[in-house]
Structure 1
Amino acid sequence: MANPWAGEVLIHLDGKPHVCKLTLGALAELEGGLEDETFVELVERFEAGRFRARDVLALVVAGLRGGGWQGSTKDLRTVEIDGGPTEAARAAAQMLARAFAMPETGR
């Protein structure tokens, strides 16, 4: 089970649950694969609803790896994501939101 307060998102690959989390290491790995783009540009595309399939794939892979998954982008291309591309995009957007949400102060 994913803990949203820890920035975790649950995604099912081939029917099996996996916890995704954009850790600092996962974000650094993701940023390294963005080529000439910045991470801010990626976030802006999500905020504007202009994200691409490769954006979703990159975020899901980064989140899975941050959650302990040992696979690669190539591995993810051959699995069934429960809910399809729509669920993958929702999970990617949710990971971004949770990774940068300010913690509750309890006040």
Structure 2
Amino acid sequence: MANPYAGEVAIVLDGQRHVAKLTLGTLAELEAALEAGSLMELVERFETRAFTTRDVLALVVAGLRGGGWQGTAADLRTAEIAGGPVAAARVAAELLARAFQLPGEA
């Protein structure tokens, strides 16, 4: 089970449940991959619903890798995500929110 207090989010790929979370290392990789000026710019895109599918894909891959998954973006492109693109976008948004949530915040 995913532990939201540890920043974890559950996602189902090809019928298999995975735990995703953003670590400091995956956040740094994410920032470089998206060529964002800062991660706050990425957070702002999600808050204003101006995110792209590239943002969602990169966040989900980073979260999965932070949870120990050994796949790549190419692997995720061919995987079936339970709930489809909408669920993937929710997972991406939750990953970002939990990564920057202070202890005790709901």
User: TM-score, structure 2 length as denominator?
Assistant: 0.94
Q: 2:92 aligns to what?
A: 92
Counterparts of 2:40 and 2:62, CA distance in 1: 16
Q: 2:43 aligns to what?
A: 43
Flag the structure with larger Rg. Answer: 1
CA RMSD of aligned residues (A): 1.3
Q: 1:102 aligns to what?
A: 102
Superposed CA offset, 1:80-101 (max 9, x none): 0000000000010001111110
Q: Which runs of 5+ in 1 are unaligned?
A: none
Counterparts of 2:85 and 2:37, CA distance in 1: 23
Percent of aligned pairs with the same amino acid: 69
Q: Which runs of 5+ in 2 are unaligned?
A: none
Counterparts of 2:34 and 2:89, CA distance in 1: 17
Counterparts of 1:84 and 1:39, CA distance in 2: 25
Counterparts of 2:35 and 2:102, CA distance in 1: 28
Question: How many residues are matched?
Answer: 105
The amino acid that maps onto 1:42 is: L
CA, structure 1 residues 63+12, in 2 after alignment: closer, same or farther (shift >3 Å)? same
Q: Which runs of 4+ in 1 moved over 6 A?
A: none
**3-state secondary structure, aligned to 1:10:** strand
Counterparts of 1:96 and 1:36, CA distance in 2: 14
Counterparts of 2:9 and 2:76, CA distance in 1: 17
Q: 1:33 aligns to what?
A: 33
